[in-house]
Every structure is written in C-alpha cells, then in structure tokens.
Structure 1
Amino acid sequence: MKAVELSKAYDPKSFEDRIYQAWMEMGMFKPVAGQQTPFTVVMPPPNVTGILHMGHALNNSLQDILTRYYRMTGRPTLWVPGTDHAGIATQHVVERQLAKEGLRRQDLGRDRFLERTWQVKEKHHGIIKQQLQKIGCSCDWEHERFTMDEGLSQAVRECFVTLYERGLIYKGEYLVNYCPKCGTALADDEVEYQPVNAFLYDVRYPFSDGSGFITVATTRPETMFGDVAVAVNPEDERYTHLVGKLLDLPLTDRKIPIIADSFVDKVFGTGMVKITPAHDPNDWLCGKRHNLEKVNVLNPDGTLNENCPYKYRNINANEARSLVVEDLKAQGFLVKETAHDHDVGHCYRCSTVIEPYLSNQWFVSMKGMADKALQAWKDEKIVFYPKRWENTYSHWLENIHDWCISRQLWWGHRIPVWECQECHEVIAARQDPTECPKCHSIRLVQETDVLDTWFSSWLWPFSTLGWPQKTDDLATYFPTTTLVTAYDIIFFWVSRMIMASLELMGDVPFRDIYITGLVRDKQGRKMSKSLGNGIDPLEVVDQYGADAMKFTLCYMATQGQDILIDMDSFKLGSRFANKVWNAARFLLMNLEGVALVDVSSVQLSTMDNWIYHQLNEAARKVQVALESYKFSDGAQAVYDFFWNDFCDWYVESAKRGLYSEDAEVKQRQVALLLDLLAESMRLMHPFASFISEEIYQKLPNVEDRLINSTYPSYSADRVHGEDAMKVARLQEAVTSLRALRSDLGIAVDRKIRVVVKCDPSFFAASFFEEQKSLMAGFVGASSLEVDAQADTDKAFPVAGTGYEMFVFVREAIDVEKEVAKLSADIEKNRRSLEAVLAKLSNEKFISNAKPEAIEKEQGKKAEFEEKMEKGEKHLALLKTFL
C-alpha cells in the first residue's frame, strides 16, 4: 500500500460542499426499498420568508442523525423536506416592500399582489434550501413540498370540503381575536398574553331619572361606546334593588339597563361591570344569555368607527382612550384612575395588542376530533419524549375551543366556498363551480378570506405523500415514524396533525413525538433579534464546519432540557473533529510498503479483543440512545469510544506493532487499525457526517460510500468480558499513577520508578507483565516491574483492585525542597486571602464599591481558598515521605 495524504490541518471548507454535492448527484438521499419497516420523518416546514436560526439547526440536526442512522441500519428511509407559506408573515414582508415604494396592496389588486408574493416566496425558498443543504441535511429533495404547491392545495380543498360535508366546518358571527396590524382574525392559541402597565378607571354612569349614579370600573373606557348594559351579581345585596333601572351612557345620548348576571365578580372594582358584547369574550356570552344588542365600535384597522361620537372616529384605540378619559374628567364622569397591571393578549406574529372583534368567520368544530386524539394518546398510539409533554397535550385537548380558520388576507389558500348571487346557495366545492347547482345561475362569488396557515400544515404528514390521491408513497411511508419539533407548537401543529390524521386517514400520523428544548444564550435567554443574542448557523458552519455544529448541538441535547450556548460552545465539536482528523492522518501516513491483509485472518490479542468489545458496547449505546431519543447519550458514546478508547488507549498500545521492523507484525497491526478506523467512521457518521465520509473514502480497505454502508450493530461474538476487565484494571492502575504524579507535582520530564505486586489470584497478572512497557509509557516511568518479591520499603504504596503499586517518589523529586516551596506558597495565599477577607468585611467598601468590584473580590476569595485547600492536601501527602 501507499501512504494516503490527508492535509495537515482539518479544514471542513475543503470537502463539505464537495461531499454533499456528490451525495446529491449519486441519489444517496433517496429511500431504498427493502423488507424492513420504513423509517419516515417529515421536516417541520420553516416559514418561506425566514432564514434558519439555531432552533432550526438543532431540529434538523437531530432529524439528520436519525435519518442517517436508520438508513445505515437498512430500513427504507425517507426524510421529507418542505416549506410553509406562512400567510401573515409572508404578506407582511411584501406589504413592507410596497410601503417603501409608497404603495398598498389595494393599489396593486389581489392578482398582482399575489404575483409579487410568489416572487418573494421563490427567492426566500431558494435561500432556505441552500441553508439546509449547507448544514448537511440528508433529506430527499425529490420529495420536497410547499404548502401552496398544486398537490397540497388539492389536499387543503379536499380536507375543507370533507369536513364541511361532515358538518365540522361552519360559518357564524362570533367574537374573535383580531390583530389590527395584521388585519386578520387569529385563533385562540395564536394569542400570547403579556403583562402591561395600565389603569383601572372608575366612571360614573348617571341614572336616567336623575336620582344619582352608579360607578363602573373599566380598563378600556374607549369601548364604552359599545356598552349595552351594566351588570351586577344577582347575589350582591348592594345592587339588587337597582336591576332594571336605566342609565345614561356617558358622552353619548344612549340609555342602557342594569341587569343581573352571576359572572360578575362582587369584589372586583365596584362590583358593577359594563357589558360590551362586541368587544369582550365574557360580555359576549352575557349578551347571548340576555339577548342584548351587539354594538361594534371598531374598524378593521383598530380605529373607532361610526358607532362612536364623531370626534373619536378614525382614531386608534390607544389615542381614543386618552381623549375619552380627558372628556370624562371634564364632564365630571371620572371618579378616579388607579394603576392596574394585568395580562393583555398580543399577536404572536407582530406583538400588536389583540382586539376582541365581532365578525363573520369560518370555524372548525374541534371537540369530536379532540376526543379521538385524546383516546389515541391513552391507547399509547402516540408517545411523547419526554413524557411530561403529554400533560400539555392532554390539557389543551380537554379544554379545546373551536378553531377560527378564516384569515382576512390575500396570501394563502382561498376558502373554497362560493355564494350564488341569485338564490344565495352556499357551495363548498373541490373544483371551481361554473354554475349554481340549485338555480343554475352563473353569478357566483367566492369567499374572499383565506385559510389559516396551520390548516394546510395539519395535513403535512400525509398531504406531502400524495393524499388525497392513493399514491405508492402514501401506502409505503404513512404513518410516518417520528416527529421532531419544538414545544412551542404542540398546540398549533402537533395536536392538530393528530386530529386531522385520525379524522381523514383513520390512523395517527406518527408514533413517536420528540420535543426538543429551546436553544438559548449562556444567560438562559431565548435568542431573538431584539436582544441581538442570536447565532447564525451559517456563521457557525463557516467558522467551525457543519460537523462541529451538529455534533455540538447533539452532544448538548439532553432530553427535556434547553441548550445554553454561545459561539465558543462549538469548539467542542471542532476539537472532536480535529482529533478524528489527526488520528486518521496518523494511521494513513504509516501505510507505505505495508501489504493489506484480510483482518478476519488476524489472531486477536487481549488489547484487540478489548477495543472490539468497546466498539460493540458503543454501538449498543448508540442504538439504545437513538431509539429512545437520548441524542446526548449517543454523541457521548461516540466521543468516549473514539477519543478515549481508540485514540488514547488502543492507538498508543498499537504503536509497537505499527513501528515494528517485523513486516508481518506491522501488517497485522495496520489491518486492525484500518478495520477499526472504518468501523469508527460508520459509528460516527450520523453525528459527524462529512468528516467521516471524507476519511472513509481514503481508506484502502473499504468500497462504496460511507453514507449507504452498514451501521455497526451489537454482536454477542464481540463480547469479551474477561479481556475488557483486564484492560479496565490496567486503566485503573495508569489513572491512579497519573493522579499521584499530579498530586505530588512531579513534572512531566521527571521519570518515576514503579513496582507492581499482584495478588496470587489476580486474573490480569500475566496481562500486566505483558503490557508493562505500555504502562510505563502511559505514566512516564523509567522502570515499571511486575514483581511480587521486589523490595518496596522506601516506596509509596498505591492500592489497586487485586494488585498494589509502589512508587519510589524520593527518586523523582527532592521532597524536602518541595515541602519548603509548597509551605511558602500556602503562606503567601493565606496572606492574600486575609487581605481580601478584610476588604469584604469593611462596611465602607461594601457600601461604596460598584457591584462588579465586590464580585471581583469575592472571586479572589474563592480562588485563594481553593489554592490553599489544594496546597494543604498536597503538603500533607508530601510530608508522608519525610
């Protein structure tokens, strides 16, 4: 064989793009038919207007690990990629672009606006796809889908019409969550509640007969123009005699009654509540119970409308509030205003305060589907990892509301409903109708609203496979196997997918649901643009490589916990990749002139059996870890095997054979090292895909690509328990001797003399004798004897399991000199500590110093205390040699 050149320095930029392109050209990401059960995972589709953030990097890295692992185990494996049209977010992007040109979408009209939006979609989609490929996602791009492509649009129509025909979709006038900035209704779970600093206003409402007034408390006086009553609790003895009396509504010429309703809290505010059915959910229900009028005072843009006095019209609600309060004060209606902090709903997309808004909207009846989804969980047809998220899932389903699915947007799936302008027949159709089925008029007008983005996403696990058509993909790959997603969309997406799948497919969409933690900064804060603490995955790839990013994220992805990182965190993965590169380079440099022999013909030694045993154990640990979604455990198993077992122990022990003048000995060792390196790359591939493939292609003992090779599997034939125990005892001995050197401060260049005495029954005695030169090299020994009869009176004993070691410490160091030096160091640290303690006990310093100065002194205190503790322990040990 010839020596194989690997560049001296690990440089992922030199091969990552090249390898990915080769995988693509060779069709390596396509599922290969087989007899095993397929493994299928659908990518949570990122918004088409966004760019990847670290949450996407984590989510897709974990999916890639699963995909590569199951592909290598021989299962037909399909990872479906795609993007979401993101109705509100995408429309915002385009409208912001238009605003810079001095235009509104209405200036373009619906068709031209949608043309512009498709152009934005294409641009951003290309960026997202390039980013996913850059980080190494091995998804099958031939299966890529978009929530508004032709097939998925057909699926959305089929779903809508089917549910409409089953009586599960209806239209009605309801109070909905409305975002004035986005100009659309939102579902309940798209509202995020945030604390706000506000005021509670006590307002006088005069009796119409002039006999006095009552006082009403409200946080939103600008909505009083929609008041149709004032309610009191029927059990509130203060007010029962007032029920039925009329009040003059301040700042208007309207009169409203006092009514009794048990929903009123007697102890909140004045115990009297103004009823505004068109602008408050509780008032809406109260209004229905009492058959009250519904007066809407808002325009769709959040300004006050024609149902308000003229001076307040077309003013946004916040500004109107100030004007109303001024007028209430001026006319003697305002009793007082009190600071009152409370939670207020905000739009999950733009953070604008949500307005309860009365309008006609389309809804999905959810209760029946929710019951089926709950039963599927109880029957263990779906399993959450970690299990604690099952509580979130079940609680939401048990308290579910009907889903408002209509959005007042132009970008999205237009609701497939038409109304006949002649007979007013309502038509829900899978294909655009040309005439009314009832009166045959051709005057049909389609609903202008579009469907909520999540209405297409809840079909994702089966619409991406061809539903409603009966495709081969659907028959082969549905139900999918695993969903990997973040916990913040359990409501939006996970639960709804399960409901839609059970309703339309008669089965759950996936069995396993792995909920990732969030990626946060080192201070535990969620990464965001506003905080400026986000990390761009492409910057990580540029600086450290895709493997370093994926390995680091996986290594830190402890099940159920958030990941706290900064840019330096990715040095972990980079250091590991460098270790892998250097180990492979070392071996490949030593192939010159060595004949390649079949490793199966090699007789294995104890050390050889041990390393294959450790590889076997690592493969078992990875299998257990990935099948239980404990990604960190899997990465740890790979790291420990390659860095510790293979590099630090086995390669060191193999150097004697590798450098041997005996050709057969060298051939034997090279064969083993090449075989172990190849298997190590297979073991590592899901976690560090590019570097493992690059090295694998350089090995003379393998063929084909690593990506489609067979993953190492646990085998009883590779269990070598006794040999593993022998090496474990050797490692224990080496570790104990290294610890002693460290405790005594014996410099690296100082050699120690060691004698090992084994018990008569010690099973590894002959192995210790065989490996004594290896042990000596590991611990920096000038001499290491395995001799039960040696004179050890002047040596320091170190206990072991079945053996005892004796170290001739005084031959390595001048104990008296070291004791004197260490005593001086301890005294110096004691004086420094006393000075710091004096400073920290000085009240003047504590009261005047800046917090960072106090923190600095406390850091010094901890440092000196630690130095003294270590020094005194070290000194006590040294004194035993005096």
Structure 2
Amino acid sequence: MTIDKTFDPATIEARWYPHWEQSGLFRPERGEAEPFTIVIPPPNVTGSLHIGHALDNTLQDILVRHARLQGKDALWVVGTDHAGIATQMVVERNLGAQGIKRQELGRDGFIEKVWEWKAESGGQITRQLRRLGASCDWANERFTMDEGFSKAVVKVFVELYRQGLLYRDKRLVNWDPHFRTAISDLEVETKEINGKFWHLAYPLADGSGTITVATTRPETLLADMAVAVHPEDERYTALIGKKVKLPITGRLIPIVADEHADPALGSGAVKITPGHDFNDFEVGVRAGIKPAEMLNMLDAEAKITQTADGLIPIDLIGMDRFEARDWIVKLLEEDGILLKVEDRVIQTPYGDRSGVVIEPWLTDQWYVDAKTLAGPALEAVRSGAIRVVPETWKKTWYQWLENIQPWCVSRQLWWGHQIPVWYGPKKTGPRTTVESSDRANLEPFVAATEEEATELARAYYGSEFAVLTSDDAPWTTEPGQGFDVETTVSEQEHYVPVTIHRDPDVLDTWFSSALWPFGTLGWPEQTETLKRHYPNDVLISGFDILFFWDARMAMQGLHFMKEVPWKTLYLHGLVRAPDGSKMSKSKGNTVDPLGLIDKYGADALRFTLAAMESQGRDIKLDEKRVEGYRNFATKLWNAARFAQSNGIGGSTTIEPPKATLAVNKWILGEAVRTIQALDLALADLRYDEAANTIYHFVWSQFCDWYLELIKPVLSPGNAPSSVGAEPVEAPSFSSADGEEGSAAPFDCPPAAGAQDRLRQAQGERGGVEADETRAVAGWVLDQILILLHPFMPFITEELWHALAARDHDIIVAKWPMADARALDPEASAEVEWLIRAVQGIRATRSELNVPPGARLPMYARGAGETTLARLAANAAPLGRMARVEIAEGEAAPGGAAQIVVDEATFVLPLEGVIDLAAEKARLEKAAQAAEKEAASLSGRLGNPSFVEKAKPEAVAKAREDHAAKAAEAERLRAALARLG
C-alpha cells in the first residue's frame, strides 16, 4: 500500500491492536520453543492508567516483544488485583449515592454488588493497557479473586497454619477508624502537621515529687502503663522501680529503665502506652507486660472506650479521640499537671484512602512468621539465584528482610478472600464447653472448606456433640466483646449442640498477590503451564513495592515451589515532574498518559519512557521529550515514504545482501553494530542505552546520512556518483577516425566520438548500483523496523506491511542476527571520513555566516595518499552535501577557513564571499561575551555560600549554564582560529 503523506498514530493504533489480539499473536503456538515469562504487577481492579503504570508496562512489553521476536514461547501473564479496601470503598460509595448501606444488604448481598461492579466498571485499566500497546496474554487473564486463584490462596493459608508459620496474635496494627480495619504500611501516608507538645508533671505515688513527661497525644494517658527512663540517666536512677499515680484515672504505674528513653530529648522521661504506640509496645514487652494485659482505650471508630480496670471517667466514654484530647488537657491544666505547651511539627500517619488519622491499635489478628520465610529469600539474593538490577537495591533487600516483623494478614472487610477459619467453644470436659467473649479464646478449625472444618470440629468435640455451622459470626472487632456459647443439653440428652462460626475477616491483598508468579500458572494443580513457565524470567517492579510485594513473592515462591519466583528482579524509579518533584494531584503536576497518547501517540510515549529509564534514577518527564520522539516517529515515517517512492521495498532475505559500494558496505556494518549493541543493552536491561542506540542509528546514520548519500544512485538518468566507488572509466575503443581511445576518469569529459559508448557504460553501472542500493536499503529498513518494534510497535507494524506484501506480521518476525561478515572496516572508515568532512565543512560555513548557496573551492593541505584517494572517490557527494569543489594546488594568500580532518587541513578561501573583518569582529565580540558570562557563573559556583544555601535545582541550573557558555566560547574561539 502507498504510505500516506501524514503520520497519524491514532488510526494506526486503532487498526493494529485489535488485529494482534484477535489473531492470537500475543501468545503464538510455540510449545517446543524456549519459554520466557513475565507476570504483570497486577493493577488494582479499581485503578486507571497513571504514568507509573505506563512506565512499568512499557518496560515489560519491550522485553516480551523482544523475546517473541527471538522465537521464544513468550508469556506475559496479565490480570488485576481485587484491591480489598479500595474496591469496597468504591462500591460502598456507589451504594451510598443510592441511599443504601452495605449493612442493609448483608455480606452476601454486598459481595454480589461488588461482582456486578467489577463486570461493568472493573476493566477500565485493562482497556487502557491496550491503548499503551501492552501485548499481554489476554486470553488467559487472571483475577486474584477468580476460582482457581482463590483455591491457591486458601491452600497457602491452611498449609502455613499447619506448619506453624501462621498464627493468631495480639499486636499493634495500623488501624483505620473510618474503614474499621487494619491496613498495611503501604496504605499509610505520613504528613507533617502543626501540632503541640504537652509537658506533664506525673506525681510520684509516694508523694515525694513528680516526674515530667512530654507527649504529642495527651489523651493516651488514659492507657499509660509505665514511665520509661534511660538506665544510665543519673537523674532518675533512684526512681527506677517506683510508681507514678496517673492523672485522671489514678492508676499506679511503674517507672522502668529502657534505652528507648533519650536523656537528651525533653525531660528524658517518656510515658509508655503500649496499646497505642509501636515503640511503646516494644518497651512494654521488654518491661514484662504481656500483650493480653495491655490496655486499649479506643474502640474501632477511635472513640474512648472503657479499659479493663474500669478507671476511665464515664463522661469520656464514647467521646471522639480528638474531642477527648481537648477535654483531658483542660482537666490537666485545672489540676496543675500541665506545665507548658510547645508548638511542634508532628509526623502524623493518615490513611491514603480514608484521609483520617491512623491509630496504632491493639487487636487480635492473623500473622505470618515472616522471619522464617525471609531466610531463603535473603539467601537467594546473596547466592545470585535472584539477580537484582540495579544492584544498589540489594542492601535495602538485606536490611528489610533481616529486620522483618511478623506480617499481619487479616483485614476487617467483606470484600476479599475470607479467612478459612471456623471457631467453636473450647471443650473443657465430657459434654461441657467454656463460654468465651473473644475469638482468641475460642478453638480454631483451619480448613480449606466448611466440610473439612466440620470434620475437624467433630474430631475435636467427639460423638457427644452435634456440630452446626454458621457464617454469621456474633462477635465484633472491639476487644472485650464477643459471643457467649450456650451449652444446653437437648431434650433427647444424648448430645450437646455446638456451633462453629466462620471468621468474618478477609486476607490482606498482598497475601494473595504474593502467590502471583505461580498461582496464575495453575498452582496448586501441576499444570503444563506451571512446569514450563515457573520460575519466571524477569519481574519488573517499582522500588516502592519492594517490601510489600516483591519480597513476599520471593518468600512464598521459595517456600511452596522450592524455587525462586523469577531469575531477575528489575526495580525502576519513579516518574517525576520536569523539576524533579514528586507528582501529586494536590500539586497539579500529574501527567495523564492517555492524554499524551492522544496527543503524540503510544509509540512516542513508550519510546520516551524507555529512553529516560536509566537504572537507579527517577525519570523527570518533560512533555517536550514526548514531542521529540513523536518527531522521531515522523522522521522514520518520511524515510519509509522516500524509500517506497524510490523503489525500495521490504527485503526478501534474512541475511544481508551483497554489496560493492562503500556506502552500502558501511550501512550494513552499522546495522550489524547496532544489533550487537542492542542485544547487549537489552541483556543488561539498559533500556536507555537500547533506545538511544536504535534512535542514533535511525535518525543520524540511516536517515540523515545514508539516504542522503544514496539519492544520486537512485535518481533515474543520473550518472552514478556513488560514494566510495572508483571513478568510472570509459572503456578502450577505436573511434570511427581510427584514434585509439584511452581510459579516462568519469569526472573528465570523454574524448570526442566516445560519448554514446561512455553513456551506455555509465547507465549499466548505474543500474547495477541502484539495484544493489535498493536491496541494501530495503534490508536495513527491515532490520530497523524489527529492532524498533519492541519500543514502537504500532508504526513498525504499519510500515512493515506498507513496504512489502508479507506472509506474517512484524510482531512475530525474526530478530536480526549480528552477522559479522557484513563488517567492512575499510568501507566504514571511508564513509565515516566523508561524514566528518561534511560535518566539519557545514559547521564552519554556519559559524562564519557563509551564504548557503555559495560554492567554495576546497584545497587539501598535508593530505596523505588515503585522503587524496577518498577526495577523488567522493568529490561528487562532497560537492553536493558540503557545496565545495575540490581544487588542486595551494590556496591563494588571504582570509580562509581551515578545517582539520585526520592528518589533512582543508582550506576554504573566503575573500569576496564574506566580509572577513566584520566576521572576525562579530566572532570576537560574541566570544568575549560568552567568556564573561562563563566567568561570572564560575565565580558564583565557586562561592561556598551559594552552593550550600541555594536550592539544589538553582545550583544545577548554574552548572548547566556555565558548561553551555564555556562550550560556546570555545566554539567561537575555534571559529576565529579557522579564519587564519
């Protein structure tokens, strides 16, 4: 087909993506080929494509498309995460708009609504990934709540429990009072808030004085259980072991020694509230306070509740925590306990979705023994079984896993994998059970199904009990509240009925996504896909989920599969605003990738992200870069149009065609070097190097030089002035008048009477050269399209079919081999010499304001034999591209420009072409101005006060400006020197 004059990305993208997907080309049948596997970091089902997703998935798609072109059985597992809290929030909000509360629907009814929402609206991000060009295996899309994956999740929970690696415990969690659930650290945002620092005088119980403590949360004194001082703080040595009478409640609490108390901070004494502060919890444990004994003064909505000792005043019960703070501060002030108040900026945790202050809260939750599971994951990185790229992240991996804490995996939600645990009353003897008010004191039955749990319960209770089941758990999340188990004997008096209740909590989203590398491949069934594609080859991940997802996948994969989940872990940085700041909606500097695709095309955005992805660095995304790579795509488009209009089509061979012309040998060699460099860059996951390698080859070598150099060869009727060809000689002949002709170079006019024969010889030579050049150009253009395809899939597929009738799409073409036989050092050296010469002459003409149309004589001074031969062979392209005519002898005295290329100096006389005196004056003035500005910037950068106190971006800008002005001054001085 004829290539359109205008490059229109939207039309191309709309045509090719459906074709690829519907034709099954994202997963061609290659059962015997070498497998290559990547699993997508599953985006939230509630999500929409943001620029971080665009980066992450572009990097994955480049590797998958590259592997597919290499003939591998490339599998890119795709799917979405059920995103427990996020999805529940969305559906609750939708129901709220209809005046419906989820409690009115009940658990089953609410979950049904969630599935309805997923069917209608939950596929937005997967549709957007298609816009990006992500070549995922959509035919086998997974979801963390689908039946097969849920089976894997339940099996892992049950097996970890039976192995003693999963247990229920009372510990502090991040509690979201709005959603009334525990949340992960990842869902907590820390903000700097202007707050207060209250200094309080706690009276000693023996009446001998007071001890001063300071706190940012005075309301928590209702649950204080100790005051800590440093064991070596001489001010308090005599007080250790004594008791303090707590204000308001009157509780007596001990003064304990603990290194957590910093003598240099405040008074050196710290109030300890182990049920409401993570550091205090550890101090309490070291002081011998058991978690079950720690006081909890807040309910699930962060309102004041009565503690176990019943000492909180009744007026405070049910009061919001911040309202209670004001009330308590007023009491402390009235009682003379409050000594002073300081203003202070406080690091405060907020729920990233609820927007409320997160509360450290003491609850019973399910935990995984992460410390035990972390051991093999640590060793996998140390041994090299998992390659981490860039290696700088290894240290972070080690530090976190070596200090890992128990992993809280339960959430108080309805949407998610319901925990496979049923509880019943503890059996205390024949026909008797004990009443309980807390799940922690009930007998758990952990099983994959209700039937299995019932069998476990029957085995536990014995034949004298009748076991019933219920999904309606009669307990709540508040400590101290639960249900009483009745132990009445039936009328028949031959059995006691007991009911086991399903745990209403669900599992942390990260618990299920940790199984993604093998759960998506069919595990626990031993499928062929699992056997072929586990372990995966590479995981592409943002560094920000290194702990929450990557490390947990390594832990679970090694534990259950006995192999690493992936051989390589690649961690990319963040996409930031052009000034380096973090993108956020509040700053208004976020970038919509779909908007960029609409404006510039998916190929341009993809190439931008790849070219800017430098290992270990964040990306400062500037829309101008996207525009620049859109221009790159347009240049390729126009190059293909030029090729097509000059009879250049797709190649018919995989191997490079034979070449005799130096320019063709050169471009074949450059293509091979590009393939070699690209292979190395992709093997090392150097996306920026890979993108810049192909960019330089396409833009500079192929479009700017090769196509320009071959234009005369392709022009019909033109005498062949091929780059690097020997001057065409007229054949020997006998003229009509009997004179013997002699061989003469093509550039010399032939002898009279020989014109027809010479023209015929030239035409034959030109035809052969044109055919060769078209074959070479077509082959190189094909290689360009294939090499560029992983980065720019749409334009390459379009041009692939436009240049020739193909029997396959480019997405399943064959990746080029770096055939060293195509390398010709002599030809490469000659063409590179020509390029340097043309560049030098052009730059000199531009710097000295030589009129573009002026043709200048060029004299060669000090040229060796090789250079003289190259001048003779390349006189025509030098004349056409640099607008010079090679002259013999020496240049006449006077002003002239001088260009040094290798050992030779090319002299261009400028008398009468430009005003030499005026040009020298202009250059001198410009050089002085640049030098003056560079000196000023150098002085500023040499001032320690500026470098230390100025903003980093201001210092960086000054350095950039200094480098630019210094280079400008150097260039202008060099131009002056060329004038002699």
> Normalising by structure 1, what TM-score?
0.90
Deviates more, 1:463-472 or 1:306-315: 306-315
Per-residue CA distance 1:362-382 (angstroms, 9 max, x = gap): 000011211111111111001
**CA distance, structure 1, for counterparts of residue 281 and residue 924 of structure 2:** 81
Deviation of 1:249 (Å) = 2.2
Task: Report the residue type matching 2:363 in the other structure.
Answer: S
User: Cα 1:168–1:334, aligned 2, differ >3 Å: closer, same or farther?
Assistant: same
After the TM superposition, which residues 382-781 of structure 1 pair with which residues of structure 2 at under 5 Å, given as runs?
382-421=386-425, 423=427, 424-433=442-451, 434-435=454-455, 436-438=457-459, 439=461, 441-442=467-468, 443-591=499-647, 602-661=658-717, 662=763, 663-700=767-804, 702-756=806-860, 759-762=863-866, 765-781=868-884
**CA distance, structure 2, for counterparts of residue 684 and residue 561 of structure 1:** 24
Is the 2:860–2:906 contact (alpha carbons within 8 Å) kept by the matching residues of 1? yes
**Corresponding residue SS for 1:175:** strand
Is the 2:923–2:973 contact (alpha carbons within 8 Å) kept by the matching residues of 1? no
The alignment yields a C-alpha RMSD, in angstroms, of 3.2
Corresponding position of 1:218: 215
**CA distance, structure 1, for counterparts of residue 413 and residue 552 of structure 2:** 22
**Corresponding residue SS for 1:527:** coil
Is the 1:422–1:441 contact (alpha carbons within 8 Å) kept by the matching residues of 2? no
**CA distance, structure 2, for counterparts of residue 595 and residue 280 of structure 1:** 69
**CA distance, structure 2, for counterparts of residue 660 and residue 348 of structure 1:** 68
Deviates more, 1:709-718 or 1:537-546: 709-718
**CA distance, structure 2, for counterparts of residue 417 and residue 430 of structure 1:** 8
User: Cα 1:260–1:796, aligned 2, differ >3 Å: closer, same or farther?
Assistant: closer
Corresponding position of 1:54: 51
Corresponding position of 1:844: none
**CA distance, structure 2, for counterparts of residue 444 and residue 590 of structure 1:** 81
Deviates more, 1:403-412 or 1:351-360: 351-360
Deviates more, 1:291-300 or 1:812-821: 812-821
Deviation of 1:119 (Å) = 2.7
Deviates more, 1:148-157 or 1:90-99: 90-99
Corresponding position of 1:808: 909
1:290 aligns with 2:311: no
Corresponding position of 1:376: 380
Deviation of 1:531 (Å) = 1.5
Task: Report the residue type matching 2:299 in the other structure.
Answer: N
Deviation of 1:739 (Å) = 1.9
**CA distance, structure 1, for counterparts of residue 969 and residue 260 of structure 2:** 66
**CA distance, structure 1, for counterparts of residue 672 and residue 29 of structure 2:** 26
**CA distance, structure 2, for counterparts of residue 416 and residue 736 of structure 1:** 75
Per-residue CA distance 1:7-43 (angstroms, 9 max, x = gap): 1111111211111111112111014325553111111
Which of 101, 105, 111 aligns to 2:102? It is 105
Corresponding position of 2:123: 126
User: Cα 1:297–1:422, aligned 2, differ >3 Å: closer, same or farther?
Assistant: closer
Matched positions, count: 853
Is the 2:651–2:779 contact (alpha carbons within 8 Å) kept by the matching residues of 1? no
User: Cα 1:106–1:865, aligned 2, differ >3 Å: closer, same or farther?
Assistant: same
Unaligned runs of 5+ in 1: 841-850
User: Cα 1:124–1:775, aligned 2, differ >3 Å: closer, same or farther?
Assistant: farther
User: Cα 1:870–1:117, aligned 2, differ >3 Å: closer, same or farther?
Assistant: same
**Corresponding residue SS for 2:886:** strand
**CA distance, structure 1, for counterparts of residue 975 and residue 781 of structure 2:** 45
Deviation of 1:441 (Å) = 1.1
Is the 2:52–2:575 contact (alpha carbons within 8 Å) kept by the matching residues of 1? yes
Corresponding position of 1:158: 155
Corresponding position of 1:847: none
Per-residue CA distance 1:767-795 (angstroms, 9 max, x = gap): 432222112222122x235x5x4556555
User: Cα 1:228–1:669, aligned 2, differ >3 Å: closer, same or farther?
Assistant: closer
Is the 2:899–2:978 contact (alpha carbons within 8 Å) kept by the matching residues of 1? no
User: Cα 1:422–1:267, aligned 2, differ >3 Å: closer, same or farther?
Assistant: closer
User: Cα 1:767–1:203, aligned 2, differ >3 Å: closer, same or farther?
Assistant: same
Per-residue CA distance 1:529-580 (angstroms, 9 max, x = gap): 2222111111111111111111111111112111111333211210100000
Is the 2:926–2:972 contact (alpha carbons within 8 Å) kept by the matching residues of 1? no
Unaligned runs of 5+ in 2: 428-441, 469-498, 718-762, 941-950
After the TM superposition, which residues 121-200 of structure 1 pair with which residues of structure 2 at under 5 Å, given as runs?
121-188=118-185, 191-200=188-197
Per-residue CA distance 1:305-334 (angstroms, 9 max, x = gap): 134323333333223222211221122221
Corresponding position of 1:74: 71
**CA distance, structure 2, for counterparts of residue 82 and residue 247 of structure 1:** 57
User: Cα 1:452–1:5, aligned 2, differ >3 Å: closer, same or farther?
Assistant: same
Per-residue CA distance 1:744-765 (angstroms, 9 max, x = gap): 1213222222234574442x64
Is the 2:681–2:687 contact (alpha carbons within 8 Å) kept by the matching residues of 1? yes
**CA distance, structure 2, for counterparts of residue 233 and residue 174 of structure 1:** 25
User: Cα 1:864–1:761, aligned 2, differ >3 Å: closer, same or farther?
Assistant: closer
Deviation of 1:138 (Å) = 0.7
1:6 aligns with 2:110: no
**CA distance, structure 1, for counterparts of residue 673 and residue 184 of structure 2:** 50
**CA distance, structure 2, for counterparts of residue 868 and residue 518 of structure 1:** 34
**CA distance, structure 2, for counterparts of residue 863 and residue 765 of structure 1:** 38
Deviation of 1:677 (Å) = 1.5
Task: Report the residue type matching 1:19 in the other structure.
Answer: W
Is the 1:196–1:344 contact (alpha carbons within 8 Å) kept by the matching residues of 2? yes
Deviation of 1:741 (Å) = 1.1
Is the 1:419–1:446 contact (alpha carbons within 8 Å) kept by the matching residues of 2? yes
Corresponding position of 2:973: 873
Is the 1:187–1:403 contact (alpha carbons within 8 Å) kept by the matching residues of 2? no
Per-residue CA distance 1:800-854 (angstroms, 9 max, x = gap): 2143322122253232454466678899x79x99xx99xx9xxxxxxxxxx9xx9
**CA distance, structure 2, for counterparts of residue 50 and residue 141 of structure 1:** 18
**Corresponding residue SS for 1:419:** strand
**Corresponding residue SS for 1:502:** helix
Task: Report the residue type matching 1:805 in the other structure.
Answer: F
Is the 1:773–1:784 contact (alpha carbons within 8 Å) kept by the matching residues of 2? no
**CA distance, structure 2, for counterparts of residue 412 and residue 236 of structure 1:** 50
Per-residue CA distance 1:156-209 (angstroms, 9 max, x = gap): 001111111110000011222222233212345654544443322222233445
User: Cα 1:723–1:462, aligned 2, differ >3 Å: closer, same or farther?
Assistant: same
**CA distance, structure 1, for counterparts of residue 345 and residue 790 of structure 2:** 50
Per-residue CA distance 1:446-469 (angstroms, 9 max, x = gap): 111111000011110111111110
**CA distance, structure 2, for counterparts of residue 868 and residue 499 of structure 1:** 56
User: Cα 1:130–1:248, aligned 2, differ >3 Å: closer, same or farther?
Assistant: same
Deviation of 1:430 (Å) = 1.7
1:44 aligns with 2:41: yes
Deviation of 1:233 (Å) = 4.2
User: Cα 1:810–1:368, aligned 2, differ >3 Å: closer, same or farther?
Assistant: same
